[in-house]
Structure 1
Amino acid sequence: MKHPLPAQPRHIGVLRLSALGDVCNLVPTVRALQRQWPEARITWIIGKGEHSLLAGLTGVEFVVYDKASGLAGMRALWRELADTRFDVLLHMQQAVRASVLSLGLKATVRVGYDKDRAKDRQHWFTHRQLMPHPRAHVLESFLDFARLLGVEDLSLAWDLPVPPSAHREAMALTGDSPYVLISPCANPRLRNFRNWSAEGYATLAGHLWEQHGLKTLLTGGGSTQEREMGARIQALSPAQSTIDAIGASSLKGLLALIQRARVTVAPDSGPVHMANALGTPVVGLYATTNPDRAAPYLWRDYVVNRYPDAVEAFLHQPLESISWGQRVRHPDAMSLIGSEDVIERLEAILAQPHTPPPAPPDMESRAHEA
């Protein structure tokens, strides 16, 4: 017998810890739940870094779990929520760690992925599963949770909070110069292979500087790999054409930098989905992951897609025969992307009318006072 879903939930739990791009893709589902049940309380259990990105999201109570804290952190979170019972818990993380964490949460009904999408036996930990949705984009998979609950308005909205302090942080790095933002490195996980070449990025920087007078802003974390990539791109680029801000901004500051950019260019990583959420044009570089599943949702037409070529070259299979979302874990896959492919997408975006982002509240007030 199926567990009944609440017709009018009073308290909705969302369990999604990571990653940066995924939590950006989940926000439209939260907004849809808020539109359907504006009086409902929404508690989102989220990772530490992901919370620093989304802190201040209107109408959402966050409970933070630091993944580095392990079982001790889980126990602390369970104690924090000991008196909380969710009418429905949306278990939106397909990982053993998240499923174990869910065991200590009180919920009348737990909703998870259908068996075809559930990884690590996630369906063992839920009462109700989504309806099958083969070949769904990640953002659509999240919206499936709202669909199952009967949400009617699934229009996309983000309204990510970017505080004035983040804009001041961004201005300190860039000044008033227009720029294209390049985040060259994806998360440096084992066998990730999502990064394009420093030579390719330097070619873009030269083109943007010489043809459009646009500087290139390099962003990313402070890892050795990212700093070395930034230094290599700068060394290969025309003098004064780049600004190296790798490791120099907070996540809120990165949001402000992306919001102020003419275009964002990055491989499959958090910044392409941040740009998508902020309405900033984005050129995603995809060869090792399937853009039909994980591209920046509103800018899919501008993705440089060499995933089918990589599947053929390195997996030696036709695209239709591999599993949905299978990755091409080969260090040469991203070399299938040519600079001319990326420049073509950039030119198409730069040819469109540009609307500058609105000034943050404190800057607007200063302009009026002047």
Structure 2
Amino acid sequence: MTRTVLVARLDNAGDVLLTGPAVRAVAAHADSVVMLAGPHGRSAAALLPGVDEVVEWRAPWIDPEPDPVTRAHVEHLRQAVEAIEPDVAVVFTSFHQSPLPLALVLRLAGVPWIGAISEDYPGSLLDLRHRVPGDPPEAERALSLARAAGFSPSGGDDGRLAVRRPLPCVADLVGEPDYVVLHPGASVPARQWPPQRCAEAVQALAAAGYRVVVTGARGEQQLTAQVAGEVGIDLGGGTDLAQLAAVLDGARVVVAPNTGPAHLAAAVGTPVVSLFAPVVPAARWAPYRVPTVMLGRQDAPCRDTRARRCPVPGHPCLTGVTADDVVAAVGKLWRS
């Protein structure tokens, strides 16, 4: 058994959650798993089963609002890795990210074996240069790297997303289970359903007899207040990630764009109405292995552009989705 493994995923919470099955596979063969995560993914890393310790570091080549590259910042990471003394490092990335800058720092920190998926020639930076054919779901792409590195899942692991349990009690926030969660925000504006449509959906869901909870991050209170109106329970800024997981766990259905809480809903096993803008492929990024109804034009002109802001006037991929469409999708999943 390998003594200490460093696993890395340096971007957002949803991305970290999608590495969960791969991290559990690593943990099945390691005495200790330390996860290197960025500031936007640290809280998700702490929720992953199999992770013993989380080290936070902001990667200048991955973070959406990176700080300048400085010798001190890179030296901080090198020293942190030296203190961990990993026997192995497995660097998880999205298809458009290079593992090589991190691999270089890990080499300088003395890590003896490093594996990653890399299209670029890695020279001596990687001991395992893994390739992934086709366009599999992101969780399966990461798991294929773990397998290639010699970390097969344990026999009882079903390969789904998961979080540590028990989750905190949130009855004081939402009351009894069996409600609909609508999460209006997204870290990438191009993936967001217009706020007015979200508000209309809350009104329509409440009129159809559903109890509706509106969730959002600390900087989204104005948005969640607008969306919840007088009929929704507004939790904007009122939960940490573990509490949000518990809120989603108590829901019968979650309505969300392609953003972290959609993957968090999948990690607690809750069905998702996915308001999916096709700027990235649904085959790769749709909620993983939970019942899902996908809404949004997947053939829209923005398809596969990876745009952060919609490049098409009117945001046609999502503005065509109506409140009635959401009510119908929620009803379908509620009855399933």
Is 2:78 aligned against 1:78? Answer: yes
How has the CA–CA distance of structure 1 residues 98 and 337 changed in structure 2, closer, same or farther, with 3 Å as cutoff?
farther
Name the one with the larger helix percent: 1
2:20–2:49 CA contact under 8 A, matched in 1: no
Q: Which residue of 2 aligns with 1:367?
A: none
**How far has the Cα of 1:106 moved from its partner?**
2.5
What is the rounded CA distance, in whole Å, between the counterparts of 1:50 and 1:18 in structure 2?
6
2:201–2:322 CA contact under 8 A, matched in 1: no
Q: Which residue of 1 aligns with 2:328?
A: 344
1:146 aligned counterpart, secondary structure: helix
What is the rounded CA distance, in whole Å, between the counterparts of 1:111 and 1:181 in structure 2?
39
TM-score, structure 1 as length reference: 0.75
1:298 aligned counterpart, secondary structure: coil
How has the CA–CA distance of structure 1 residues 176 and 144 changed in structure 2, closer, same or farther, with 3 Å as cutoff?
same
Q: Which residue of 2 aligns with 1:107?
A: 111
Q: Which residue of 2 aligns with 1:330?
A: 311
Is 2:130 aligned against 1:139? Answer: no
1:303 aligned counterpart, secondary structure: strand
1:136 aligned counterpart, secondary structure: coil
Letter in 2 for 1:201: C
Q: Which residue of 2 aligns with 1:155?
A: 158
What is the rounded CA distance, in whole Å, between the counterparts of 1:157 and 1:135 in structure 2?
18
Letter in 2 for 1:282: V
| CA RMSD, 1 decimal | 2.8
2:263–2:287 CA contact under 8 A, matched in 1: yes
Letter in 1 for 2:273: V
Is 2:251 aligned against 1:261? Answer: yes
Q: Which residue of 2 aligns with 1:126?
A: 126
Is 2:38 aligned against 1:44? Answer: no
**How far has the Cα of 1:27 moved from its partner?**
0.8
What is the rounded CA distance, in whole Å, between the counterparts of 1:304 and 1:63 in structure 2?
35
What is the rounded CA distance, in whole Å, between the counterparts of 2:132 and 2:197 in structure 1?
40
Match of 2:284 among 278, 293, 298: 293
Is 2:214 aligned against 1:218? Answer: yes
The equivalences for 1:1-370 within 5 A come to 8-35=1-28, 37=29, 39-55=30-46, 57-67=48-58, 71=70, 72-93=72-93, 94=97, 98-99=102-103, 101-115=105-119, 125-153=125-153, 155-163=158-166, 166-167=168-169, 170-176=170-176, 178-187=178-187, 189=188, 192-211=189-208, 213-223=209-219, 226-235=220-229, 239=230, 241-287=231-277, 288-299=279-290, 301-308=292-299, 310-311=300-301, 314=302, 325-328=304-307, 329-330=310-311, 332=315, 333-352=317-336
2:5–2:33 CA contact under 8 A, matched in 1: yes
**How far has the Cα of 1:129 moved from its partner?**
1.4
TM-score, structure 2 as length reference: 0.82
2:216–2:236 CA contact under 8 A, matched in 1: yes
How has the CA–CA distance of structure 1 residues 144 and 179 changed in structure 2, closer, same or farther, with 3 Å as cutoff?
same
1:162–1:252 CA contact under 8 A, matched in 2: no
Letter in 2 for 1:233: V
How has the CA–CA distance of structure 1 residues 84 and 285 changed in structure 2, closer, same or farther, with 3 Å as cutoff?
same
**How far has the Cα of 1:178 moved from its partner?**
3.8
Instruction: Give the 4+ runs in structure 1 shifted more than 6 A.
Output: 121-124
How has the CA–CA distance of structure 1 residues 106 and 158 changed in structure 2, closer, same or farther, with 3 Å as cutoff?
farther
1:296 aligned counterpart, secondary structure: coil
1:162–1:256 CA contact under 8 A, matched in 2: no
1:173-227 Cα offsets, whole Å, 9 max, x none, are: 222364211110101x5xx41110223222322232222x22211111122xx33
2:245–2:264 CA contact under 8 A, matched in 1: yes
1:54–1:161 CA contact under 8 A, matched in 2: no
What is the rounded CA distance, in whole Å, between the counterparts of 1:42 and 1:177 in structure 2?
34
Letter in 2 for 1:292: A
How has the CA–CA distance of structure 1 residues 84 and 199 changed in structure 2, closer, same or farther, with 3 Å as cutoff?
closer
**How far has the Cα of 1:157 moved from its partner?**
4.3
**How far has the Cα of 1:161 moved from its partner?**
2.1
Which structure is larger by alpha-carbon Rg, 1 or 2?
A: 1
Identity of aligned residues (%): 25
2:7–2:34 CA contact under 8 A, matched in 1: yes
Return 5+ residue gaps in structure 1 as ranges: 1-7, 316-324, 353-370
What is the rounded CA distance, in whole Å, between the counterparts of 1:177 and 1:41 in structure 2?
36
How has the CA–CA distance of structure 1 residues 10 and 254 changed in structure 2, closer, same or farther, with 3 Å as cutoff?
same
What is the rounded CA distance, in whole Å, between the counterparts of 1:26 and 1:10 in structure 2?
20
Q: Which residue of 1 aligns with 2:62?
A: none
What is the rounded CA distance, in whole Å, between the counterparts of 2:122 and 2:176 in structure 1?
48
Letter in 2 for 1:230: T
